[in-house]
Amino acid sequence: MSWRTKSRLAWLRQLPGVSEDEPLASRTSFGIGGPADFFVELARPEMIEQAIEGCRDRDIPYLLLGAGTNLLIADGGIEGLVVRVVNREHQVEGTRVRAGAGLKMMRLARIVADANLRGFEFAIGVPGTVGGAVYQDAGCWGKEIHEVLVEVEGFMPGSGRQTWKPPALKFGYRTSALRDGDLKGGLVIAATIHLARGDGEEAKQLMAKLTRERSETQPIKTKNCGSVFKNPAGDSAGRLVQAAGLKGTREGAALVSPLHGNFIVNEGGATASDVKNLIERVMAEVKRRFGIELEPEVEMVGRWK
Ligand code: EPU
């Protein structure tokens, strides 16, 4: 039975600022994907809470969207309500920094450097938002957000506002209880991180150097979703894809990056099916050649055929 009853549709249509059949492709770093049945962009936590609480009460599916990185949205679009979380406030108090879930990690990296804080330089290599980073313990250059995290202000439909300390979030390699555990469906409102005092200019120089290096090894100017696969224990997905001779392989306008084997690039007009087919081909070939099952890191959501 579809959730699309008259009363549910009427409730969705009265949400302030809501739109129907809203294209999502341009709101993802891949530039791919069908529309959201219903879409709203919200900054105020109470508004986001009301929206997802209302969905829970009515059994309407919902999805929280940040910067749309690490995400592959199906060509058939997304069922129910998509809430784009755009609360971007931040406060620096001594060595503690509180950041809204909708703030970009790269922007926060510059803000904390301006405040002469060190230890967050790795965030200059993380394309998503603070909320998205908490959701999957994002990181770069061997450092992840959980290493600087003090606590997360969250909201769980049915249980209200919560404060999650790192153990409650059950972080693992590109995962947390929000992505794969008992906090699924929960909202990140803001995260508080703890950094060290230091020279902001040195932080900026280091970030510039790291970004230069990243631009030499990753196709950062292209439309992509970041790493497609998790690295298998003790190995690297990019190395395996290269060793299997798969760099430059394509499905439609989706291409395995010739620069880095763990990136798929949308050359313009690639469909979600192109990308999914390419992912499956790569997985099959790496399995056949090396007996290793690659696990996608990119989250695939929506209505697949
Ligand atoms: N390699 C190859 N061929 C390739 C790509 C890589 O042989 O085509 C080799 C490299 O030479 C290196 C090893 O594989 O020896 C690892 O590659 P790299 O240093 O590029 O890092 P990675 O393991 O592929 C990880 C994160 C990235 C992060 C970089 C830099 C994962 C899945 N990926 O990539 O994170 O930016 O380290 O720290 O953990 C992301 O998660 O979306 C992401 C981009």
How many A from CA of 292 to the centre of ligand 1?
Answer: 17
Give 40's pLDDT tier (boundaries 50, 70, 90): very high
Per DSSP, the residues of 78-97 read EEEEEEEE----EEEETTEE
Average pLDDT value for the chain: 98
Pocket of ligand 1 (CB under 6 A): 125, 140-141, 217, 226-227, 230-231, 236, 238-239, 242, 260-262, 297
pLDDT tens for each residue of 96-131: 999 999 999 999 999 999 999 999 999 999 999 999
Residue 224 in contact with residue 266, Cβ under 8 Å?
yes
- Is residue 299 annotated as part of the catalytic site, yes or no? no
pLDDT tens for each residue of 203-240: 999 999 999 999 999 999 999 999 999 999 999 999 99
Q: Which amino acid is at 41?
A: E
Give 295's pLDDT tier (boundaries 50, 70, 90): very high
Q: Return the pLDDT at 305.
A: 85
Strands 117-118 and 187-194 turn out to be: unpaired
Q: Residue 100: helix, strand or coil by DSSP?
A: strand
- Is residue 174 annotated as part of the catalytic site, yes or no? yes
Residue 198 in contact with residue 117, Cβ under 8 Å?
yes
Ligand 1: residue of 122, 135, 209, 262 to mutate (most ligand atoms within 8 A of CB) is 262
Q: What percent of the chain has pLDDT over 90?
A: 99
- Count Cα atoms within 13 angstroms, Cβ side, for 166: 13
- Is residue 297 annotated as part of the catalytic site, yes or no? yes
Q: Which residue is it, tokens 């909202």?
A: 187
Q: Whose CA is nearest to atom 38 of ligand 1?
A: 141
Give 286's pLDDT tier (boundaries 50, 70, 90): very high
Per DSSP, 71 falls in state E
49, 227, 251, 257: the active-site residue? 227
How many A from CA of 19 to the centre of ligand 1?
Answer: 38
49, 121, 144, 297: the active-site residue? 297
How many A from CA of 216 to the centre of ligand 1?
Answer: 12
How many A from CA of 236 to the centre of ligand 1?
Answer: 7
d(CA 60, CA 54): 8
